[in-house]
């Protein structure tokens, strides 16, 4: 397969995906401009809170705030009926996150737990698996899964900037400046990931692998938008951001080694090499300045910061379990293999 160029000549929106149940089917119909009845709250409440149908619904409604969809009118971003459906689905998702995290207000304890790495190989870690024995096809699958976020890396976290003040705002903007290439379009991290995908002969178009992504992958991306789009959850967004930055450097080092081992190109290796260095610095800034500055002025948000940290770990662990179970059984971690839909 010939890789597509990583820098498209025009801004494009993805096409709407195929529904995965009654909930997402009704939303797809409305976004296509067809007359349809949106699901009532009781149907949303009765749905699987971590299942494909609910999370595809949420993903589509969140995407209206990013690139939108080719077939959907841009004005639907603020459609009251769609916002009602989104709020009901968010309530189901958020309730499940709270039920599956320990809670509490000890931010330091939650952050310290992220720094603990096993002495040897971690059988529950995707990056350990890929470093040790991952094949090129598995690295391609992993990149396709992660592309749902990485091609808009740092965008969801920008929502929190106007909700911060002082030290927290200044430090958050400084980190985001790095994420967006420090003023250089070719160094924007989303662009670097597109270059990685091109090296792995993957389609670099935004949203190209939405159809392939199972619910555990959609949930990790939806989490960022859930926290980012609600001012009331600004503490959780900061906690989520901290969890990503603190755990990124060691995982990126392992993934860079995995890519070298399978002979991936320089562009593929560069993305993770960049994160090894950058996120080691970001880790300290986000902990001391972003979280420290936030809690200095709003100490009552400590429990939300912990929620953000723990919810991130909970969903990432679920995704890792899904991926490793599939690979160890000789199957694909995607809903359909990436080569089934060539670029």
Q: By percentage, how much of the chain surpasses pLDDT 90?
A: 84
**DSSP 8-state symbol, 120:** S
pTM, rounded to two decimals: 0.93
User: Does pLDDT of 12 surpass 80?
Assistant: yes
pLDDT at residue 33 in the model: 92
* Ramachandran category for residue 225: left, alpha or beta (phi over 0 → left; psi -120 to 50 → alpha): alpha
pLDDT at residue 120 in the model: 65
Q: Which residue has the tokens 């002979």?
A: 263
pLDDT per residue as tens digits for the range 38-88: 999 999 999 999 999 999 999 999 999 999 999 999 999 999 999 999 999
CA atoms of 104 and 149, how far apart (whole Å): 28
Instruction: Give me the mean pLDDT over the 106-114 stretch.
Output: 95
Task: Work out the pLDDT band at 117, boundaries 50, 70, 90.
Answer: confident
Task: Work out the pLDDT band at 275, boundaries 50, 70, 90.
Answer: confident
User: Are 343 and 146 a contacting pair, CB within 8 Å?
Assistant: no
CA atoms of 226 and 219, how far apart (whole Å): 10
CATH fold group of domain 107-340: Heme Oxygenase; Chain A (1.20.910)
Task: Work out the pLDDT band at 279, boundaries 50, 70, 90.
Answer: low
Q: Which residue has the tokens 């989104």?
A: 86
Task: Give the CA count within 13 Å in the CB-facing half-sphere of 72.
Answer: 28
Classify 328 as helix, strand or coil. helix
**DSSP 8-state symbol, 288:** I
Task: Work out the pLDDT band at 115, boundaries 50, 70, 90.
Answer: confident
Locate 277 and state its tokens: 């260095």
CA atoms of 221 and 227, how far apart (whole Å): 11
pLDDT at residue 268 in the model: 86
User: Are 71 and 50 a contacting pair, CB within 8 Å?
Assistant: no
Q: By percentage, how much of the chain surpasses pLDDT 70?
A: 94
- Any idea where the domains of the chain sit in the sequence? 22-99, 107-340
Q: Other CB atoms closer than 10 Å to residue 276's CB: what's the count? A: 17
pLDDT at residue 255 in the model: 95
User: Does pLDDT of 342 surpass 50?
Assistant: no
pLDDT per residue as tens digits for the range 147-202: 999 999 999 999 999 999 999 999 999 999 999 999 999 999 999 999 999 999 99
Task: Work out the pLDDT band at 124, boundaries 50, 70, 90.
Answer: very high
């Amino acid at each position: 397969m010939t890789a597509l160029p990583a820098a498209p000549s025009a801004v494009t929106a993805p096409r709407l995906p195929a529904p995965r149940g009654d909930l997402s089917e009704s939303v797809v119909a409305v976004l296509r401009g067809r007359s349809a009845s949106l699901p009532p709250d009781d149907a949303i409440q009765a749905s699987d809170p971590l299942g494909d149908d609910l999370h595809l619904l949420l993903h589509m409604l969140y995407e209206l705030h990013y690139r939108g969809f080719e077939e959907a009118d841009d004005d639907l971003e603020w459609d009251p009926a769609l916002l009602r459906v989104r709020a009901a689905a968010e309530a189901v998702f958020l309730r499940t996150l709270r039920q599956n995290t320990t809670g509490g207000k000890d931010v330091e304890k939650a952050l310290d737990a992220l720094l603990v790495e096993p002495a040897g190989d971690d059988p529950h870690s995707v990056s350990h698996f890929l470093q040790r024995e991952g094949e090129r096809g598995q690295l391609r699958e992993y990149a396709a899964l992660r592309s749902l976020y990485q091609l808009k890396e740092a965008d969801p976290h920008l929502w929190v900037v106007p909700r911060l003040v002082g030290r927290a705002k200044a430090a958050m903007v400084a980190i985001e400046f790095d994420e967006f290439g420090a003023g250089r379009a070719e160094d924007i991290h989303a662009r670097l990931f597109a270059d990685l995908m091109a090296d792995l002969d993957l389609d670099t178009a935004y949203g190209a692998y939405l159809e392939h992504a199972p619910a555990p992958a959609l949930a990790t991306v939806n989490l960022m938008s859930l926290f980012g789009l609600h001012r009331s959850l600004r503490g959780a967004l900061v906690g989520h951001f901290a969890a990503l930055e603190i755990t990124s450097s060691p995982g990126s080092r392992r993934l860079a080694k995995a890519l070298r081992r399978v002979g991936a190109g320089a562009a593929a290796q560069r993305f993770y090499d960049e994160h090894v260095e950058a996120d080691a610095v970001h880790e300290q800034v986000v902990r001391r300045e972003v979280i420290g500055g936030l809690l200095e002025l709003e100490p009552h948000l400590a429990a939300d910061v912990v929620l953000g940290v723990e919810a991130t770990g909970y969903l990432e662990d679920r995704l890792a379990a899904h991926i490793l179970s599939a690979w160890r059984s000789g199957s694909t971690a995607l809903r359909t293999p990436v080569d089934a839909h060539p670029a």
